[in-house]
A = this chain, B = another copy of it.
Amino acid sequence: MKKLINAPADVLAEALLGVEAAHPDLRVDHQNRVIFRGDAPRAGKVGLVSGGGSGHEPLHGGFVGPGMLDAAACGEVFTSPVPDQILAATRGVDGGAGVLHIVKNYTGDVMNFEMAAELADTEVVAVVTDDDVAVQDSLYTVGRRGVGVTVLVEKIAGAAAESGRSLSEVADVARKVNAQGRSMGLALTSCTVPAAGSPTFDLPEDQIEVGIGIHGEPGRTRVPLAPASEMAQMLVDPILDDHEFTGGDGVLAFVNGMGGSPLIELYLMYHEVNRLLGKAGITVARSLVGSYITSLDMAGCSVTLLKLDDELLRLWDAPVRTSALRWGA
């Protein structure tokens, strides 16, 4: 295992020291491993909390800031944060208008966020993302896994909260994004969890794993390594089979890198995805290309499509100021 780390057990704690040093507009609670907006809690604003295992950076800490999350609770690598961490995040963002939990659908995450919500002395609503069309149940999940759409939920619900909407309104828009979004990913290589020290799974040099989860959970199938045009089809087809994306105000097309794939390849994949959507009569109104929800050093990518409407477009375009997504502010 070759990594830019000291002891595997210290990776998260030391990375959080780096986040704090690099971003003076954030506040890091090192004891609870929570990254806060520097000005949290904001009186009268719905607080947005997300979190989950680390190793998916910039998700979620890179999305803390005005127009997006108020706090991110950081579990150990690929490990759910414990209820105490989520509770500390919830309390720290409670400005009197209630708190929204944005939770990726993994059994541990869902359970720990629920326990924290019960312990909180404010109104909490949870929205669980489950956009991965690859598999129904999985290694850590009952139902579909929450993946790329989580980034879009955090941005769009974040804009809704920033504009002063109520907790139930912000939760509604978050649910709408999840309902109208679908994702699918593939891996060219495994990732290596620091504490394990060796690759999570074996993938022969001539094969790819289609429908991979963001922790290296098995996907739908292993197939021979293929050209990008065919790999794009392996991701786009199951998404289009699962949901109707034509008409309306078009889609947001998001090509996400898994961490180890260079940006030049992600743009090439975006070209292939965009071409396939055009052939399917789908209008791409917005796009996002980059490594935003990753699996440590895994090579590969995922595609997320979100069906847009007027409201979602406006909220997507609204100003955001975080370390990983920033515009208009």
Taking Cβ atoms with an 8 Å cutoff, the residues of A that contact B are 2-7, 11-12, 14-19, 21-22, 54-55, 57-58, 62, 77, 188-189, 205, 208, 225, 227-229, 231, 259-272, 274, 284, 287, 289, 291, 294, 296-297, 299-301, 321, 326-327
Copies in the complex: 2
A22 near B268: Cβ-Cβ < 8 Å:
no
Secondary structure of the A side of the interface? Answer: mixed
Which residues on B sit within 8 Å (CB–CB) of A21?
A: 270-271, 274, 284, 287
What is the bound-complex CA distance between A227 and B268, given in angstroms? 35
A5 near B294: Cβ-Cβ < 8 Å:
no
Tell me the nearest residue of chain B to A232, going by C-beta. Answer: B4
Q: What are 8 pairs between A and B in contact, CB < 8 Å? A: A3-B299, A4-B300, A5-B268, A15-B271, A18-B266, A18-B268, A18-B271, A57-B267
What is the bound-complex CA distance between A208 and B274, given in angstroms? 39
A11 near B264: Cβ-Cβ < 8 Å:
yes
| Closest-CB distance, A61 to chain B (whole angstroms) | 9
CB contact between A262 and one of B259, B263, B267 (< 8 Å): that residue: B259
Most B-side CB within 10 Å, residue of A12, A208, A268: A268
Which residues on B sit within 8 Å (CB–CB) of A265?
A: 3-5, 11, 15
Which residues on B sit within 8 Å (CB–CB) of A22?
A: 267, 270, 274, 287, 289
A4 near B268: Cβ-Cβ < 8 Å:
yes
Which residues on B sit within 8 Å (CB–CB) of A291?
A: 263
B228 near A2: Cβ-Cβ < 8 Å:
no
